[in-house]
A and B are shown apart, each in its own frame.
Chain A
Amino acid sequence: MTNENILLVCVSPRRKGTSAMLLERIKNSIGGEIVFLNQKGSFEELIKKMQMAKTIVISGPTYINSYPARLFELLEKEVPNHKFSNQKLYGIINGGMPYIHTHEHGLFYLKLFAKENSFSWMGGFVLGGGAILDGQPLEKHLNHRKVVPLFDQFISCIGKGVFAPKELYEKGEVAIPKCITYVLSKALTSKVVKNLKKYDHNPSDLIYYLKELDSKN
């Protein structure tokens, strides 16, 4: 079932990551067309699809605490040059860190964008601890017992065209005790170091860009 009125825009450069997976979940539930934001070239085709849709859902990863720059480019440089008609806009942002505050700026950014550009901001969803999923279904999320029904409620809001309150994603945040955080930091670091060693690297290697100029001298 496709609902051509819902445009699902994935702004991650990865086609099979968490951002795309969440849009697939939406599509399987209420329909919609998934499109991928290109990383270079013209926005023309995407703008046309956005103008034709009644509802737009933007799904992307957290880069440096907000959406990736390519989305910023679309919304800052291109959208203001075209006419839109109060399309409903929802946003999803997902990142590795299990804290909402780390990622939430993305949603507020979309809200201000909507205000300035004739879109109707309908709320969003922040998914922390999402990067680990790397495209696996939401049921594999570490907090899936809470997050799955909450995200499905968010999907239901999109389907009904109603505002999605922040409580939906706030309830999905889990308070991690200090001792577990400590263990996590060690475990994740150990994984990182193992991966570096695989490529003959060490975390304390001389910084590449320090080497680079020196060798030119």
Chain B
Amino acid sequence: MITIISDDSKNNFMDTIKESIKKTTKKIVVFKANDLNVEPCLACASCGGKTYGRCILEDDMQKILPQIVRSEKMILVSPIVYGGVSFHIKKIMDRISSVGDPRYYMKNGELVKKMRIPDLKYYMVGIKENLTFEEELLFIKLHEENINIMSVDGKAFIVEKKLDNSIIEEILKEIIYD
């Protein structure tokens, strides 16, 4: 199963995403991040202690998290803002900690974490017109740091909006059949 979370507030790729996934037999769940009610993480540490594995904030993350833990792949589709993801997407990313493994591991001589769904593949698709190289590298760096500390595989894709929707379709195809 694949979970796609897309912030559609600056682009209109939801239709393209839905058309693309119709062409595959894989089970795919799609969320529109900018339509969801997701509160900021309050760093209460309940998910790593008292209510291990469960976030206590009652909002739309309670719909998303059950899908993520059943997924082999998670795709975040976001406008690129200041070299990062949009706030809609970041709110969701911050709350995914609740399905992170709270233990510590060592990888390449450094402390890292893992996900409780350790085989999860984590993808980002960043979208911006007239993207500078500096900003593109920064977006990719965010994804790289994410997959490093989460100890998962994945890839970041960049879409310069001037190109048409077929690029999104190509990217989704590549991810789905990766």
- Tell whether, in the assembled complex, residue A64 and residue B146 are in contact, meaning their CB atoms are under 8 Å apart: yes
Q: In the complex where A72-B90, A109-B83 touch, is A212 in contact with B66 (Cβ < 8 A)?
A: yes
Most buried by A among B87, B106, B117: B87
Asked whether B53 lies within 8 Å of A207 as measured between CB atoms, the reply is yes
Nearest 9 Cβ contacts at the A-B interface:
A69-B90, A72-B87, A73-B87, A69-B91, A201-B52, A208-B53, A65-B145, A112-B82, A208-B54
Taking CB atoms, residues of chain A closer than 8 Å to B91 are: 69-70, 73
Q: How large is the interface on B (under 10, 10 to 19, 20 to 34, 35 or more residues)?
A: 35 or more
Which secondary structure characterizes the binding site on chain A?
A: helix
User: A188 contacts which of B94, B104, B145 (Cβ < 8 Å)?
Assistant: B104
* Chain B 57-81 per-residue mask, 1 if CB under 8 angstroms from chain A, else 0: 0000000011011100000000001
Complex contact A207–B87 (CB within 8 A): no
User: Considering the chains assembled together, what is the distance between the CA atoms of A182 and B51 in angstroms?
Assistant: 28
A201 to B102, CA, bound (A): 12
Given A69-B94, A109-B83, A184-B111, 4 further pairs, Cβ under 8 A: A40-B40, A109-B84, A181-B110, A199-B51
**Which residues 82-140 of B have a CB within 8 angstroms of A?**
82-87, 90-91, 93-94, 96-97, 99, 101-106, 109-111, 116-117, 134-135, 138
> A181 CA to B70 CA in the complex, in Å?
32
Stretch of A22-30, A51-59, A93-101, A144-152 that contacts chain B = A93-101
* Distance of A75 Cα from B86 Cα, bound (Å): 10
The 0/1 profile, CB within 8 Å of B marked 1, for residues 98-116 of chain A is 1101100100111011001
CA distance A99 to B110 in the complex (A): 9
A159 proximity list for chain B (CB < 8 A): none
A77–B111 CB distance below 8 A: no
Residues of A within 8 A of B101 (CB): 203
Q: Which single member of B94, B116, B117, B138 contacts A105 (CB below 8 Å)?
A: B138
How close is A162's CB to chain B, nearest CB, in angstroms? 23
- Interface range on chain A: under 10, 10 to 19, 20 to 34, or 35 or more? 35 or more
Residues of A at under 8 Å CB distance from B?
12-14, 17, 39-40, 61, 63-66, 68-70, 72-73, 75-77, 97-99, 101-102, 105, 108-110, 112-113, 116, 178, 181-182, 184-186, 188-189, 192-193, 195-196, 198-199, 201, 203, 205, 207-210, 212-213
List the one stretch of B18-26, B41-49, B154-162 in contact with chain A. Answer: B41-49
Chain B residues with CB under 8 Å of A199's CB are: 49-52
In angstroms, how far is the closest chain A Cβ from the Cβ of B68?
Answer: 8
The residue in A17, A40, A182, A201 that gathers the most chain B C-beta atoms within 10 A of its C-beta is A201
CB distance from B60 to the nearest CB of A (A): 13
A39 and B39 contacting across the interface, CB-CB below 8 Å? yes
CA distance A199 to B102 in the complex (A): 14
Q: How far is the CB of B94 from chain A (nearest CB, A)?
A: 5
List, in ascending order, chain B residues with CB within 8 A of A40's CB: 39-40
Q: Contacts of B106 on A, CB cut-off 8 Å?
A: 178, 181-182, 185
Among residues of B, the one whose C-beta sits closest to the C-beta of A13 is: B42
Are A76 and B99 in contact (CB-based, < 8 A)?
Answer: no
| B135 with A192: CB separation less than 8 A | no
Is B110 a contact partner of A208 (Cβ separation < 8 A)? no
Indicate whether B142 reaches chain A with its CB closer than 8 angstroms. yes
Say yes or no: A66-B116 contact (C-beta < 8 A), given A73-B87, A185-B104, A209-B69. no
Q: Tell me the smallest distance from the CB of B65 to a CB of chain A, in Å.
A: 5
B141 contacts the other chain (Cβ, under 8 Å)?
yes
> What are the residues of chain A within 8 A of B135 when measuring CB–CB?
112
Alpha-carbon distance between A198 and B102 when the two chains are bound, in angstroms: 15
**CB-CB nearest in chain B for A193:** B103
Residues from chain B with Cβ under 8 Å of A207 in the complex: 53, 69, 99, 116-117
